[in-house]
Amino acid sequence: MPQPSRAPLPGLALALLLAAAPAAPAAADHVELLWLSLGNRLPSTAERIDITVSGFSLGCPVHFAEPVVAGRTVRLDGAQIVSLLPCPPGEWTQSFTVQPLPVGGYTVEVWIDGALHLTDGFAVREADLFLSFHGGAFSAAADWKDPYGGSEGVGHPIQLGDDSGAFWFFGPGNVEVTLKVLDGRAVNGRYWVFIANMSTVEHTVTVTRCPTNPLVGAPCVSKSYRNPPLQNRNFVDTAAF
């Protein structure tokens, strides 16, 4: 007597289906176009670096891990997204932010599925030590001393506008002092200095006014605002200059 046929096991059927499916194309085959965009090719040691990688794929898009900085190389490693269903052709993009880097030249490498596809470069310059206000008529600098560890240094400027800025001491994500130099001449004939302090570290902010016309022989004039150690002092000087 003939034996009744049995349906194949579900696991075996799935294995046979996967074996019969065509293999996913390599990244070199499915990536038709690739772009790399740098937000700033000459950032300072106080600025983050924005990197965007985009492309057009005939198959599934590419996904990149976070950038890895090794020496003078910023490496982006990507791989094609694996899918059992076919992916329609289309564009894709990913953006990343790299923390501030030391002075020097850097190469950005874009790797996809273990193959190098694109390189580009940028240079990091030393950050300016001064903020500049009102077209260069005013500048501001800061120095600090840690009352706990005894370390000391200068403030790293973050220019926010033509009349405002900030300084960080220990890291660009940790702002210590913000300040404004406002034109109050319409009120009392003077320029005003406002300083908002967010630190108990001893520091001094020095604001300097210099003639913008080189033919004017007037000397530069400076005023200093000191925050004593372990205190938090703000300044509102409406008769500064």
CATH of the domain at 30: 2.60.40
**d(C-alpha 183, C-alpha 181), whole Å:** 7
Indicate if the pLDDT at residue 12 is higher than 80.
no
Kindly indicate the confidence band of residue 13, based on its pLDDT and cuts at 50, 70 and 90.
very low
Residue type, position 138, single letter: F
**d(C-alpha 189, C-alpha 194), whole Å:** 16
Six token digits for residue 155 = 């403030």
Q: Are residues 233 and 140 in the same domain?
A: yes
Q: Residue 151's domain spans which residues?
A: 131-237
Choose the final residue of a domain: 124, 145, 165: 124
* Of residues 51, 48, 28, 25, the one with CA closest to residue 38: 51
Q: Are residues 174 and 81 in the same domain?
A: no
Q: Which pLDDT does position 216 carry in this prediction?
A: 59
Query: What's the total number of domains in the chain?
Result: 2
Choose the final residue of a domain: 103, 124, 145: 124
- pLDDT, one tens digit per residue, over 69-119 is 999 999 999 999 988 888 899 999 999 999 989 989 999 999 999 999 999
Q: Are residues 186 and 94 in the same domain?
A: no
> Does 20 fall in a domain?
no
Q: Which pLDDT does position 128 carry in this prediction?
A: 79
Instruction: Return the number of other C-beta atoms located less than 10 Å from residue 91's C-beta.
Output: 11
- pLDDT, one tens digit per residue, over 112-155 is 999 999 999 999 887 778 999 998 899 999 999 998 888 899 99
> Does 16 fall in a domain?
no
CA dist 215 to 88, 144, 218, Å? 67, 35, 9
Kindly indicate the confidence band of residue 44, based on its pLDDT and cuts at 50, 70 and 90.
confident
Q: Are residues 147 and 75 in the same domain?
A: no
Q: Are residues 193 and 114 in the same domain?
A: no
Q: Are residues 161 and 141 in the same domain?
A: yes
> Does 92 fall in a domain?
yes
> Does 14 fall in a domain?
no
Choose the final residue of a domain: 102, 124, 146: 124
Q: Which residues of 122-149 are buried (b: 16+ CB within 10 A; e: fewer)?
A: bebeebeebbbbeeebbbbbbbbebeee
- pLDDT, one tens digit per residue, over 161-184 is 999 999 999 888 899 999 999 999
Q: Are residues 220 and 141 in the same domain?
A: yes
Q: Are residues 119 and 142 in the same domain?
A: no
Q: Are residues 37 and 59 in the same domain?
A: yes
> Does 11 fall in a domain?
no
Q: Are residues 90 and 178 in the same domain?
A: no
Q: What mean pLDDT is predicted for residues 198-224?
A: 86
Q: Are residues 229 and 141 in the same domain?
A: yes
**d(C-alpha 157, C-alpha 47), whole Å:** 10
Kindly indicate the confidence band of residue 213, based on its pLDDT and cuts at 50, 70 and 90.
low
> Does 15 fall in a domain?
no
- Lowest model confidence (mean pLDDT) among 2-6, 96-100, 105-109, 234-238: 2-6
Q: Are residues 105 and 138 in the same domain?
A: no
Q: Which pLDDT does position 114 carry in this prediction?
A: 94
Helix, strand, coil percentages (3-state) for the chain, rounded to 5, are 10, 50, 40
> Does 4 fall in a domain?
no
pTM strictly above 0.85: no
> Does 10 fall in a domain?
no
Provide Rg for the chain, Cα atoms.
Answer: 29
**d(C-alpha 239, C-alpha 241), whole Å:** 6
Query: Could you give the 3-state DSSP secondary structure of residue 210?
Result: coil
